[in-house]
Amino acid sequence: VSVTTVNTLYPRLPTISDVARVAGVSTMTVSRTLNNHPSVRAQTRDDVMRAVDILGYRRNENARSLRPGHQTGLIGVGITNIANPYYAEFVLGVEDIASQHGRRVILATTAGDLGREEQVVSDFLGRQVEGLILVPSGDTASHVRPGRLRGVPLVFASRTVDGVATDSVVVDDEGGAYSGARHLLEAGHTAIGYLGAPDTSFTGARRLRGFLRALSDVGIVPESHLIRRGLRTVEEAKTATLDLLSTSRPTALFCSNNRNVVGALKALTARSRTGGYDDSALEIVSFDDFELSDLIPYRATIINHEARRLGQASAQMLFQRILSPDSGQPARTVSMPTWLEPRGTSLGVAP
């Protein structure tokens, strides 16, 4: 009785020796068959495969990876928030390359919290991942110092961390923001509202720097009430935009990311519904593309870059380390280019 009960509670999966027993051979013969070892008689092989089929046997990858030299085939990916379509695309890029190398992605979200990130890294290492790709949460990261990782390669994506010398793939934030701002200036705008992420955010700081440099290059000192930073969510961006428009009359808006432009557009929509505000001349520049950016009802330009490519590039850097761990190359930082794309009504009438 007790055996049956235990089996129901913990349904023990069939092991290699169960297969061996059913097939009437030794475990080694099963192992060789499963690994396509040439020296197995065809008849024996058939017996084994039949037993495998009967039992529904599957090799235990965890036990397998316990053996020296064997790897787990796992790549740990830690992102801040999968609900942001940008990181969803990013993960897809990583998965793309990982599956090409026969690896599986294990995913965790850190919610931008340093403590959770530390747990996640620790968990990943405990699961013997072959490599880590991380969108770091903050600019301190002692848990991720190369020494603590014991040789497991790490790639930072989207941001880097001061004092941690490791491979990273980032977007050309400053250059992109510079050219986006430049675009507005050349169109004659001088009163440009800025909606930005917190300065503590790596990309936020870099994009702001590019924006300000473009203004300073043409001798414009931005008025402080036009510069809104510290915006983390769509909702915050919406509120900030409403507040900005209630006190100022910018002729253009520069949105430092995906979330901010969505919030800004929601604010503009809400505001135009209340009437009394003619924003038809407003022009928008935004970092990051998003779905339906075609439909922006303003002159608009996107500073575009592809999350999926960022993911692919990160994974490719990681696999360079994984596949030749002895190369001893110094840490590299790759900057992914951006480009401007007209959107919204700035497209004008197509032919």
Partner DNA sequence: CTGTTAGCGCGTTCAG
Partner DNA sequence: CTGAACGCGCTAACAG
101 in contact with its own copies (CB under 8 A): no
- Nearest Cα neighbor of 80 from 303, 258, 265 is 258
164-203 mask for its own copies (x: CB under 8 A)? ----------------------------------------
Residue in 21, 112, 114, 123 binding its own copies, rule: CB under 8 A: 123
Tell me, rounded to whole angstroms, the distance of Cα 40 from its chain centroid. 45
Q: Which is nearer to its own copies, 151 or 219 (CB)?
A: 151
Residue in 2, 36, 42, 56 binding its own copies, rule: CB under 8 A: 56
Contact present, 282 and 268 (Cβ < 8 Å): yes
Radius of gyration from C-alpha coordinates of the chain: 27
Contact present, 271 and 255 (Cβ < 8 Å): no
61-80: contacts with its own copies (CB under 8 A): 61-63, 65-66, 68-69, 72, 74
276 in contact with its own copies (CB under 8 A): no
**Stretch (H or E) spanning 118:** helix 114-126
308 in contact with its own copies (CB under 8 A): yes
CA atoms within 13 A of residue 115's CA, in its CB half-sphere: 0
34 in contact with DNA (CB under 7 A): yes
Q: Which amino acid is at 82?
A: I
CA separation for the pair 334, 278 (Å, rounded): 43
Residue in 22, 52, 108, 171 binding its own copies, rule: CB under 8 A: 108
- Smallest gap from Cβ 134 to its own copies, in A, equals 15
Q: Which is nearer to DNA, 32 or 207 (CB)?
A: 32
- Kindly state the tokens that stand for 145: 């110092």
68-127: contacts with DNA (CB under 7 A): 68-70
- Smallest gap from Cβ 217 to its own copies, in A, equals 33
- Smallest gap from Cβ 126 to DNA, in A, equals 8
- Nearest Cα neighbor of 65 from 53, 56, 74 is 74
Q: Are strands 339-344 and 299-304 parallel, antiparallel or unpaired?
A: antiparallel
- Kindly state the tokens that stand for 153: 């390669």
Give the binding range for its own copies (CB under 8 A) out of 41-49, 85-93, 133-141, 184-192. Answer: 85-93
Q: Which is nearer to its own copies, 41 or 104 (CB)?
A: 104
92 in contact with its own copies (CB under 8 A): yes
Q: Which is nearer to DNA, 44 or 346 (CB)?
A: 44
CA separation for the pair 101, 78 (Å, rounded): 19
CA separation for the pair 228, 7 (Å, rounded): 61
277-316 mask for DNA (x: CB under 7 A)? ----------------------------------------
Q: Which is nearer to its own copies, 39 or 274 (CB)?
A: 274
- Smallest gap from Cβ 146 to DNA, in A, equals 21
CA separation for the pair 215, 185 (Å, rounded): 8
Contacts of 34 (CB under 8 A, 6+ apart): 48, 52, 59
232-271: contacts with DNA (CB under 7 A): none
Characterize 257-292 residue by residue with b for buried, 16 or more Cβ atoms within 10 angstroms of its Cβ, and e for exposed. bbbbbbbbbbbbeebeeeeeeeeeebbbbbbbbbee
- Smallest gap from Cβ 111 to its own copies, in A, equals 10
Query: If DSSP codes are grouped into helix, strand and coil, which group holds residue 32?
Result: helix
Q: What letter would DSSP give residue 17?
A: H
- Smallest gap from Cβ 14 to its own copies, in A, equals 7
Footprint of its own copies (CB under 8 A): 5, 8-14, 56, 58-63, 65-66, 68-69, 72, 74, 81-83, 85, 88-89, 91-92, 95, 104-109, 122-123, 125-128, 147-148, 150-152, 262, 265-266, 269-270, 273-275, 290-292, 294-297, 308, 325-326, 347-350
